[in-house]
Chain A
Amino acid sequence: MSHEAVLAEIRPKPLVVGEVSLGAVDDAVYAPMESKPPMVWWVALAFTSALMLLGFALIGYTFYEGIGVWGNNDPVFWGWDITNFVFWVGIGHAGTLISAVLFLFRQRWRNAIARLAEAMTIFAVMCAAIYPAIHVGRPWFAFWLFPYPNQRGMWINFNSPLAWDVFAVSTYFTVSLFFWYVGLIPDLASARDRATGKVQKAVFGALSLGWRGAARHWTHYEKAYMILAGLATPLVLSVHSIVSFDFATSVIPGWHTTIFPPYFVAGAVFSGFAMVVTVLVFVRKIMRLDHLITLDHMEVMNKVILTTGSIVGYAYGMEFFIAWYGGVPAEHYVFMNRATGPYAWAYWTMVSCNVIFPQLFWFRKIRRSIVAMFIISIFVNIGMWFERFVIIATSLHRDYLPSAWGYFRPTLVDMGIFAGTFGLFFTMILLFSRTLPVIATAELKAVLPGAQPGHGGHHE
């Protein structure tokens, strides 16, 4: 390799492909908001919203009949409900990691993808938040999980990890929403300025809170954004740690392990990045943003998937080691049963999807192949769903007393509601992609070539 080639390899890459003017960025990003959606968008929206409506109808059916219409039984009292909850919360993690953590670490490549990732966080947490509310036996009393002064004089049980969950997830959602919104303000002002319709002008005008791009505004904005990033960063770690406490603090073999918090966080980031890759593969092509969201962006994300996937794989191995090393017969049995018992198919699906396939990202070609990364990201999504299912179902279905052992089978209602959450998620993504700027233009402009003299490729 020549000297120049080595330099080219290690030199920071341009974060935007080609010479893009400031105006061109705006034109590219705001174009979808200012034009009629193409047919493919309508078809997609019809499909996803139909799925969403199916999900809501089945939730209504569940409310009417009772959650007996799901596959949950005794001993597997939690089935797809909590599996899907943990799955969706995990999906959300990439957004916060990208927008907050990478922001604090000055990873400027994040600027192009942060907005979309963050939107996905919010939509994913919305999907997740459905489950705790509907999975309870009497959903009309689900509000009892919140601590609020009431005439019964009843307080919630702060010892319960489920109560911690309520705080963790609601805090996470609130902070993510604020963070997202604050980041949107300069772009909303741009949208206001570009809008031609009266309604758009009024709505964007109200939402942009009188942003004029003054230096004072920028100072406040930068500070607020930094503070919110600081607030959101610990949440990346805490939310899934606390979700993992639902399991880790129990006495059930297969749940009761101290490795869960880091393992869950790594898994969440893993699955979240996979979902971001899945969505971006389409968004950047369909919305013609591939010069702003470049292959380099995708490659970096694939590297994160490789890293977190390896952490998850290590955790799987360590669980087995500890089960053997710990010498608790029931725990030993649960892990052997995972790999060889009635749910072995689910376990090996999980291992192949999460541990084996992401290892292909060691190859640069695969990291940069859109088709390969799309397939692998789908595998990771599947695998991470199975991880939660394996943790919940295989631990519960055979715990301490063999007399109580059972088997879990999902029902069509289980599947329909899960499909419905995907419908909700993608409906929100589709609506978002046509109503709000999917790229933070203000941030992106800061990384355009020439935006920051002294950096980039201008002084060669």
Chain B
Amino acid sequence: MADHTPSSPRFWRSRAEQAADPAFQEPLQREFEPNSAHQPEDPAAGMSRRRFLGLLGASAALAAGAAGCGRNIDRGDIVPYTRRPEDGLPGRAMWYATSSAEACWVFPLLVKTRESRPILIEGNDSHPDSLGAAPMRAQAELLGLYDPERLQAPAKAGATESWDNALAALASGMGKGKSLLLTGAVVSPSRQALLERLAQSYPGVEIHCWEAAAPHGALAASQQLGAGQLLPRLNLEKARVVLSLEAELFAGEGDLPRQIRAFAAARRPLTHGEATPEGMNRLWAAESRMTLTGGKSDHRLALRSSALPALAFALARRLNELGLAWPGAPLSAPSLAEFAKAEGLDGKLLELLAQDLKQAGPAAVVVAGNQGSAALHGAALVLNRMLGAEGNTFSWRPAALRPLASHAEMSQLGKRLQAGEFATVVLAGVNPVYDGPAGLDWAKALSGAGERFHLGLLPDESAAACTWSLPLNHWLECWGDHMGGLLQQPVVAPLYDTRALDEILLNLLAKGGQSVPADGLSWLKGLWQAEYARQGSPLAFDAFWHASLQQGFSATAFPAAPAPVLSAGALTAWSAPMAASKLELTLHADRRLFDGRGANIGWLQELPDPVTKCTWGNPLSIAPADAKAQSLKDGDRVMLSSGAQSLECTVLVQPGQKVGTCALALGHGRTALSVAEGIGVNAFTLMQGGATLLPNVSLAKATTTAMTHTTQEHQLMEGRDIVRSLPLASFAAGETGAPSHGAHAGGQSEGKGAEHGAAAAAALATGRDHGLKQKEEAPLTLYPDHEYLGHKWGMAIDLSACVGCAGCVIACQAENNIPTVGPERVDEGREMHWIRIDRYYEGDEENPDMVFQPMLCQHCDHAPCENVCPVAATTHNEEGLNQMTYNRCVGTRYCANNCPYKVRRFNYFSYTGELAAVLQLAANPEVSVRPRGVMEKCTFCVQRINEAKNQAKAEARPLVDGEIKPACAVACAAGAITFGDLNADSEVARLSQADRRYKVLEELGVRPAVTYLAELRNPLAAGGAHES
């Protein structure tokens, strides 16, 4: 066969080709270049042949198409679809500012919608109380909106009715004779205006506000002083010394993002190893049960709840001895030393506490727990007054716009109801059958009223006791406003045939003969316009209104109240000593469900409690010593009796629980609602007269056992270098917090003597070199290192800032379509959270140290998961992300076995396929929903990274540091999580070089992309933070 070279083809089209004439070959080459049609054309050459053919074909197709269409339409102009949809672009997220309220507290929020459906709730990043963080229940309300059990149309005795009939019945019911309207705390000025006018049209109506787990003690204390119902509004950023009297500062209910953010700001003096002039704050906690506050504290005093007021008064006496004036008449309280002796506490430590408070003066604050008694709140008030803290570290605010009913008042109402005093009862967003004061059968009491209206979202316990059911809009579907100038916009049209409560009230007013607008927006806008006019601003109202809506709030200060004047009578009442009993029970709001309002939301039920790590239920926390004495262990069932009432609970042996005390969370034990029903026990049934501290309770071991549904079965670090936590003074002395050969952590700090935090920080500022630096040499590796030419994503987690609140867990769950699996699956160890908060105890079981560590995929550079996957479903990308390709995953689970951090989650069943259709609306369309049989894990919110990159690319600019925030980082009120590009001049790159940096399991050489910053504590005495 004739040989041929490329330059002389075997077959040739012309002699020029055969001769390999470049003049022939050059155009030949160009023709078959990819995209040759898109090459810039030479205008001089005119239209190319390819383009000409293309246009010819297109014209012919168009002509044929037009001719075809022409036959089917009438003569006349046709109008193309040139306007984009009214509400954003399909495929692009729209964000709206709104706000929500929970009991006495209000939260500025942002809601992300896609194709007009809300898919994510975050904090309003332009509001100083939030800066992006939202409390976990506000985030989880997304599922509340899409709850498949929501009531969908008005009904009478189970039969669907029209709204006209329902509203007519409501108006006539409230019009005749006496009626009772029960609603939750009113923190909305526009709602309050409506309720005030309601009384004008319906003179027989009594309006009461019921919040079962509001801080009734605090309200009672201020009421006893004749100051109305007041609450302290903390300014923790100014507090150098904080004393918590069984307060949950970082979890449960309250001004959470605000408190966490402020505390963390004052806690974090050493961002990059630089000392701030103020130094680090100090947190003291005195409590009987283990709270997150106690876990985060620098000194924790474990003592009976019944001794807490006495502790405060003993401290007050000591402060007086130290030169602070008594507020009002001098009190006779035991001395601090006597108190310490009586309670078996370390007198020296109490003395240090008194000195610390005295030294901080107005920069100290004493916070009593929301569920604390009036005496406890009164005692805190006394201390704060002596310290001069009011107006500095906290200010007074009205609890709500209408007074809240106390338990006694509510019981009275119940009795009057039962006696048939009210012809009509209207329950607007309250559920007394579940949470009404104990000692009364509320279903029976309600039946004393002939007409019973339930205005709510869900078919709860009280709905079953009512004749009428008027379904309400979810707050994401209504207009409204809240104290502090917050506006509430609806972000989605009502999903069902439901009405906003305000609109029902407006309808009642209209029926009562008042001229009011029919819709909530007009009412709200009218009120705001009137107020705006009253203030006499020169700007047009519409511009103000538009700007406020867009921002979510107007720049109105939170309403303040004058400080209450102490009275001798109240002081005497508060300082009356409480008798000790063998076993006392503290009832407290659940850290996840508060008073039970999030109970039907699977995300909240399955969230591990930040302290106990239990999901789905409320085990009874008992002290380790008591457990030993009664031979009880986790999961044993006990009959808990208080007076005539008893409850069968599951036992949880809780380190840190004071001997002789036990604690039980409210908000569980529902008898309605499919998610919540039968989970835990209803502690409200024990709450006689509103008492949250029950003396003389008894436990009787039952024969059965149950699961505590915990996600963390082992509570100790086993001496391993996992969470580094050390006193500030030790850190300043060059320690790292790493255990020395698995021995006692931080042991070397003993005997250093008391070194004040500010002094230690000053020592730091001198630029001491830390031992950490020497650890930096890269470990040997078999595999070549990855090269990161562009971005290299990384994260830094400041354990000093983290308070363990688990807000990030819910945020991650909402952002990444993470399923809930239910209590049985949790017991099997199959929960799906991509980020978990590891909580370890250290030291004495009776009063241990508690440390937290958010644990998520570490996106290792040498990820052990990557090289074991046989099908290459988990791989490393060029920006350092450890990627999970769900489509490719076969499900060998080898990756998860080989993950030293155990952060991978496997879909053992199809969790998402079984979701109700309406719940699927909550899914984030940017994140794949995973089928059964595949592995999943944290992606660093890769969808957010890509969105930001696309945005930057579209705007032809480089990415800005801080532009990309994973869901967890946004939700972290403490600002503990920093994400960014390690290859850039970024915050995360600086933090990754901070003196406190370390990597978890660094010795394995997997090179995680997550850097932890060791936790610093600021105890006064050296050598361990907690003593009893």
Residue A237 interfacial (CB < 8 Å): no
Q: Which residues of B contact A137 (CB under 8 A)?
A: 889-893, 906-908, 932-935
Q: Is the CB of B933 within 8 A of A138?
A: yes
Chain A residues positioned under 8 Å from B904 (CB to CB): 74
Instruction: List the B side residues contacting A252 at CB < 8 Å.
Output: 897-898, 900
- The answer, yes or no, to whether B867 is at the interface (CB within 8 Å) is yes
Question: Which A residues touch B714, using CB under 8 A?
Answer: 398, 402-403, 405
Q: Mark B566-592, 1 if CB is under 8 A from A, else 0.
A: 000000000000000000000000000
Determine the residue in chain A with the shortest Cβ distance to B853.
A403
Asked if A362 is at the interface (CB within 8 A of a chain B CB), the reply is no
CB distance from A383 to the nearest CB of B (A): 24
Residues 673-717 of B at the A interface (beta carbon under 8 Å): 712-717
Contact B894 A162 (CB under 8 A): yes
Residue in A74, A135, A401, A403 whose CB lies within 8 Å of B830: A74
Task: Report if B261 contacts A (CB, 8 A).
Answer: no
Q: Looking across the interface, which residue of chain B has its beta carbon closest to that of A405? A: B714
* Bound CA–CA A67/B910 (angstroms): 10
Bound complex: CA A333 to CA B717 (Å): 12
Smallest distance from the beta carbon of A330 to chain B beta carbons, Å? 7
Q: Majority SS of interface residues in chain A?
A: loop
* Closest Cβ–Cβ distance, residue B801 to chain A (whole Å): 19
A250: Cβ under 8 A from any B Cβ: yes
Stretch at the interface among A39-47, A149-157, A194-202, A308-316: A149-157
With A66-B933, A73-B830 known as contacts, the answer to whether A402 contacts B720 (CB < 8 A) is yes
Task: Assess whether A77 is in contact with B932, with CB atoms less than 8 Å apart.
Answer: no
* A393 to B306 Cα, complex, angstroms: 47
B-contacting residues, A26-74, CB 8 Å:
65-68, 71-74
Q: Are B868 and A161 in contact (CB under 8 A)?
A: yes
Interface 1/0s, chain A 145-177, versus B by CB < 8 A? 100000000111101111100100000000000
Q: State whether A67 and B897 are in contact (beta carbons under 8 Å apart), knowing that A160-B867, A251-B1004, A402-B840 are contacts in the complex.
A: no
**Which residues from A are CB-within-8-Å of B897?**
75, 77-78, 250, 252, 396
A156 touches B901 (CB 8 A): no
In the complex, are the beta carbons of A136 and B900 less than 8 A apart? no
B902 with A75: CB separation less than 8 A: yes
Residue of A65, A67, A252, A401 ringed by the most chain B CB atoms within 10 A:
A401
Complex alpha-carbon distance, A166 and B894, angstroms: 14
Minimal Cβ-Cβ distance residue in A for B832: A74
Whether A401 contacts B900 by the Cβ 8 Å rule is yes
Q: Are B905 and A329 in contact (CB under 8 A)?
A: no
Return the CB mask of A246-263 against B: 1 if under 8 Å, else 0.
100111100000000000
List of A residues within 8 angstroms of B894 by Cβ: 77-78, 160-162, 246
Q: State A142–B888 Cα separation when bound (angstroms).
A: 11
Distance between Cα atoms of A12 and B778 in the complex (Å): 62
**Please, how many angstroms separate the alpha-carbon atoms of A160 and B866 in the complex?**
9
Chain A interfacial residues counted at CB < 8 A: 49
Give chain A residues whose Cβ lies under 8 Å from the Cβ of B931. 138
Tell me if B840 and A333 are in contact (CB < 8 A).
Answer: no
Interface of B, secondary structure class, is loop
Instruction: Tell me the smallest distance from the CB of A286 to a CB of chain B, in Å.
Output: 41
A160 smallest CB distance to B (angstroms): 4
A251 touches B900 (CB 8 A): yes
- When distances are taken between beta carbons in the complex, the residues of chain A under 8 Å from B719 are 329
**Is B836 a contact partner of A403 (Cβ separation < 8 A)?**
yes
Question: Is the C-beta of B344 less than 8 angstroms from some C-beta in chain A?
Answer: no
Contact with B along A89-115 (1 / 0, CB 8 A): 000000000000000000000000000
Q: Are B1001 and A400 in contact (CB under 8 A)?
A: yes
Is A214 in contact with chain B by the CB < 8 A criterion?
Answer: no
Residues B484-537 near A (CB distance < 8 A): none
Closest Cβ–Cβ distance, residue A350 to chain B (whole Å): 20
The reply to whether B902 and A74 form a contact with Cβ atoms under 8 Å apart is yes
Chain A residues contacting B871 (CB-CB under 8 Å) are 144-145, 154, 156-157
Say whether A399 faces chain B, with CB atoms less than 8 Å apart. yes
Answer whether residue A141 sits at the interface, using C-beta atoms and an 8 A cutoff.
yes
0 or 1 for each of A220-254: is its CB under 8 Å from B? (1 = yes):
00000000000000000000000000100111100
Give Cα A403 to B932, complex, Å.
Answer: 25
A404 CB within 8 Å of chain B: yes
Given A72-B893, A137-B890: A403 touches B870 (CB 8 Å cut-off): no
Contacts of B893 in A (CB 8 A): 72, 77-78, 137
B900 lies within 8 A of A399 (CB): yes
| A406 contacts the other chain (CB 8 A) | yes
State the CA gap A76–B719 with chains docked (Å): 23
Whether B855 pairs with A400 at a CB distance below 8 angstroms is: no
Give bound CA distance, A73 to B742, whole Å: 29
Judged by a CB distance under 8 angstroms, whether B869 is at the interface is yes
CB neighbours of B864 from chain A (8 A) = 250-251
Give the shortest distance, in Å, between A167 (CB) and chain B (any CB): 11
Q: 1/0 contact trace for A393-423 toward B, CB 8 Å?
A: 0001011111111110000000000000000
Bound-state Cα–Cα, A252 to B853, Å: 21
Q: Pick from A399, A403, A407: contact of B855, CB below 8 A.
A: A403
Given contacts A138-B890, A404-B902, contact A156 B718 (CB under 8 A): no
Q: Out of A68, A142, A398, which one reaches B909, CB within 8 Å?
A: A68
Known: A157-B871, A160-B867, A402-B716. A65 touches B909 (CB 8 A): yes
Q: Is the CB of A66 within 8 A of B908?
A: yes
Whether A403 contacts B720 in the complex (CB less than 8 A), given A65-B909, A67-B908, A251-B864, comes out as no
Q: How far is the CA of A74 from the CA of B908 in the complex (A)?
A: 10
Max chain B Cβ within 10 angstroms of own Cβ: one of A76, A246, A404:
A404
Kindly state the separation between the CA atoms of A330 and B718 in the bound complex, as whole angstroms. 9
Cβ–Cβ < 8 Å partners of B720 in chain A:
329-330, 400, 402
A73, A75, A77, A250 pick with most chain B CB within 10 angstroms: A77
Partner of A68, one of B722, B830, B888, B889: B830
- Is A402's CB under 8 angstroms from B870's CB? no
- List, in ascending order, chain B residues with CB within 8 A of A67's CB: 891, 908, 933
Question: Once the chains bind, are B867 and A159 in contact (CB under 8 Å)?
Answer: yes
Asked whether, in the complex, the Cβ of B896 is within 8 Å of the Cβ of A77, the reply is: yes
Within A349-402, which residues are at the interface with B (CB < 8 Å)?
Answer: 396, 398-402
Give the chain B neighbours of A138 by CB distance below 8 A: 889-891, 931-934
Contact present for B933 and A399 (CB under 8 Å):
no
Q: How many Å lie between the Cα of A74 and that of B901 in the bound state? A: 11
On chain A, the residues within 8 Å of B906 by CB distance are 74, 77, 137
A400 near B900 (CB under 8 angstroms)? yes
B413 interface contact, C-beta 8 A: no
CA of A75 to CA of B871, assembled, Å: 21
With A74-B896, A141-B890, A401-B900 known to touch, is A407 a contact of B1001 (CB < 8 Å)? no
Which of B891, B904, B1004 is most buried by chain A, counting CB atoms within 10 A of its CB? Answer: B891
Taking a contact as CB atoms under 8 Å apart, the answer to whether A136 and B933 are in contact is: yes
Contact B902 A157 (CB under 8 A): no
- Asked if B908 and A72 sit within 8 Å, CB to CB, the answer is yes
| Interface assignment of B366: CB less than 8 Å from any CB of chain A | no
Chain A nearest CB, measured from B2 CB (Å)? 35
7 contacts between A and B (CB under 8 A): A71-B828, A78-B893, A144-B890, A162-B869, A330-B720, A400-B720, A400-B1001
Residue numbers of B with Cβ under 8 A of A are 712-720, 722, 742, 825, 828-831, 836, 838-840, 853, 855, 864, 867-872, 888-894, 896-898, 900-902, 904-910, 931-935, 1000-1001, 1004, 1006
For the complex with contacts A68-B825, A399-B900, 15 further pairs of A-B residues with Cβ separation under 8 Å are A67-B891, A72-B908, A74-B830, A74-B906, A75-B896, A136-B891, A137-B889, A145-B892, A156-B870, A156-B872, A162-B869, A252-B898, A400-B902, A401-B900, A402-B722
